[in-house]
Chain A
Amino acid sequence: MSKITEAAIKEICASCGNDRDRLMDVVNAVQAKAGCVSDESIEAIAKQLSCHRVEVESVVSFYAFLSKEQKGSVVIRLCNDVVDKMNGVDAVAKAFEDELGIKFGQTTDDGKITLEYAPCIGMCDQAPAALINNEVMTYLSTDKVKEIVKNLKACNDPAKLKHRLGDGNNASEMVHSVVHNGIRKKGPVIFADYDKEAGLKNALAMSPVEVINEIKTARLRGRGGAGFPTGMKWEFTRAAEGKKKYIICNADEGEPGTFKDRAILTERADLMFEGMTVGGYAIGADSGIVYLRAEYAYLTKLLEKILQDRRNANLLGKNVLGKKGFDFDIRVQMGAGAYICGEETALISSCEGLRGDPKNRPPFPAQKGYLGHPTSVNNVETLCCVGRILEMGAAWFAETGSKGSPSTKLLSISGDCQMPGVYEFPFGVKVSELLKEIGAENAQAVLVGGPSGQIIGKADYERTICYDDLATGGAVVVFGPERNMLEIAAEYMEFFIEESCGYCTPCRVGNVLLKNGLDKILAGKGEPGDLAMLEELGNTVKTTSRCGLGQTSANPVLSTLKNFRSTYESLVKESKDGMQPMFDISAALNDAETIADRKSVIFKN
């Protein structure tokens, strides 16, 4: 065993109670300590947790932040999301390669620094950005890269890289990060001043059923994007049979362009925990789990401290706030870099120490969730809303917003606009109003809801952001007039190809075929028939995939086909000879010509 002894692994496993369900924590700890989870480590972990070796290996191979191969003690993960590309990440990437003398995917010869790409790390408003181990570096430039690499070579400690700290809690001892909150517009619900713990106190003065009724009266719907009524979800979970129940907070915002939970977790974690506690009380749970994406590991110290403070103040623990019989505590579960884990059943799999594979539904998590117990999975923002509803009342909550979508929605806005950041808008805001406010009136296109949402053009700017029209989990990405929307769609397809868990064929294969189709058109080799083919294929992927990823992954193609039809049409032309323009005979013969050391006689170049 290279960098970690069997004794050390034993110790790590013991600290997790030798509990196989806590496998994520174990492998994360081993990875952090040894820079890899080697075959020997996998063997040792399996022995210690009394499970099969393949169970450990399947987890290690699934998550992007875990690896069997030795990584450097410092891992640089440069975000190559579309927004970062729009902000010049390619030059930054080249600077990293030049300065380190390695390519992406490689480790320096001294074994100290590994260079990798990562999909959206939730910093689109301060792109280009990178994770260096758990530290976030924002607004990267080639000069900054030179300095970072110089410092890393000198001290090999990412924690010493920081310069000017961010605002709010980012500057606190616990976070100590250069990240900016970027809160540009405070609304009445999430970022307004509020009466701490009033919501929880009010809730505990009611019966759990009354609490659920209050949430139903407020018509609160899930803020993650799907918009399921929270009260109903809680009612189902409460009614489900089972002695033990769980509430899970989904803090795995991985949808490219989404970073609103980052701001909540930094500035309103208390409110989120309060909402979770209310939820726990309402559904009859005594445990809560916050599933935090690995990219936000820099926030763990802060979250752990707030949890400890809450325990000290009896806001968590036995008989919360003196309420007899209501015991509730929360733990933070770290992810390990997998977009799919934002899908609630995949998230539950991950919490259980499994690959982040989605589960079949039914049974729904409300019936059989975490470890088979009834579980309610709620979004970070939803839980904050819960706290405010219980504090201010359902009527107050419904005062703002539109008819079908009460209250406000946090939007994380980035791309070609003057003022990227987090905005709290009332539901029902028109896209045109929003664009005016963020300084992007000349936008060619707007991505609402991330790549799994829709890319809309000017014709749709009078539409509104709400559950009944343009639903969104919070991502809004703006594209200026000079962007090629087909290239953007192709980029997003690349993302889905990478993040598909591979379980079902329509998603695993279909997304690749969609990307190939786009590439063909972008290469100027497309034909009018290809558009119909893309549409049909996209709809097949949408209707036959198993989980939300595949059911929405065709959207970049389908929505651009609909809203940017003329761009597609200008690129395709009818071919007359019946040959496939993408077939390249000289490329196909290249290997054979080299091996045989002769040129083709049939196809003379």
Chain B
Amino acid sequence: MAKPKVATTSLAGCFGCHMSLLDIDDRILKLVELVDFDKSPIDDIKEFTGQCAIGLVEGGCANEENVRVLQDFRKHCDILISVGDCATMGGLPALRNTITLEECLNEAYLDGPTVYNPDGVIPNDKEIPLCLDRVYPCNEVVKIDYNLPGCPPSADTLWEALVALLTDKPVSLPYELIKYD
């Protein structure tokens, strides 16, 4: 039987959750025995090659490209997991949610104290994805099966959850893995 496939992506995140995944250290060898990676920055496969068992999503949706990718993940993954606080709740990027998009862009490209932009141009190439009006956590865009909390979730948390799902056992995370204060 072919190994189940796993896909991962980072939307409006910082790649910290992916770094945390790499922190499983030598267990990554065991992981490769258990799964194949499909679309993921880890193997740099850009588009899905088929249906996956598990999708790991880091980051929420800040622009239209994020939405497209997330919807694509939903279509191709049997189980979709929000990894980390940005995917689960919007996280730091969602701090802009109380400010209008126009104000955000002006502050970032025109008015900010460290901005050097003599032409006063806000980047607007048609290749640049359009921003959403606010940052949406993943579960407001598509249905999410599991949320793994943490900023980032520790390597052990990710490992325990993945192995449990891949070996068809209930995901039970000990208190130490989901306690943050």
Contact = CB atoms under 8 A, between A and B. Distances in A.
B139 A580 contact: yes
A582 interface: yes
Given A592-B101, A592-B131, A595-B102, A580 B141 contact: yes
Given A589-B64, A602-B68, A580 B140 contact: yes
A595 B130 CA distance: 10
A601 to B, nearest CB: 7
B47 to A, nearest CB: 14
A598 interface: yes
Contact of A579 (B65, B71, B122, B133): B71
A260 to B, nearest CB: 42
Contact of A580 (B105, B124, B133, B142): B142
B76 to A, nearest CB: 11
Interface string B124-144: 101001111110100111110
Contacts of A600: 64, 130
Nearest to B80: A578
Nearest to B105: A595
B114 interface: no
Given A589-B64, A598-B124, A583 B140 contact: yes
Contacts of A593: 130
Main secondary structure of the interface of B (DSSP, over half): mixed
A578 B143 contact: yes
Contacts of B74: 577-579
Contact of B133 (A577, A578, A591): A591
B126 A587 contact: no
Q: How large is the interface on B (under 10, 10 to 19, 20 to 34, 35 or more residues)?
A: 20 to 34
B75 interface: yes
A589 B65 CA distance: 11
A595 B122 CA distance: 10
Contacts of B134: 588
Interface in B34-62: none
A597 to B, nearest CB: 8
B29 to A, nearest CB: 33
B143 A587 contact: no
A590 B75 CA distance: 25
B64 A583 contact: no
Contacts of B172: none
B140 A585 contact: no
Contacts of B101: 591-592, 595
Contacts of A601: 126
22 contacts: A578-B142, A578-B143, A579-B142, A579-B143, A580-B141, A580-B142, A585-B64, A588-B67, A588-B132, A588-B134, A589-B64, A591-B102, A591-B133, A595-B101, A595-B102, A595-B105, A595-B122, A600-B64, A600-B130, A602-B64, A602-B67, A603-B68
Given A585-B67, A602-B65, 16 more contacts: A577-B74, A579-B71, A579-B143, A583-B142, A585-B64, A588-B67, A589-B133, A591-B133, A593-B130, A595-B122, A598-B130, A601-B126, A602-B67, A602-B129, A603-B64, A603-B67
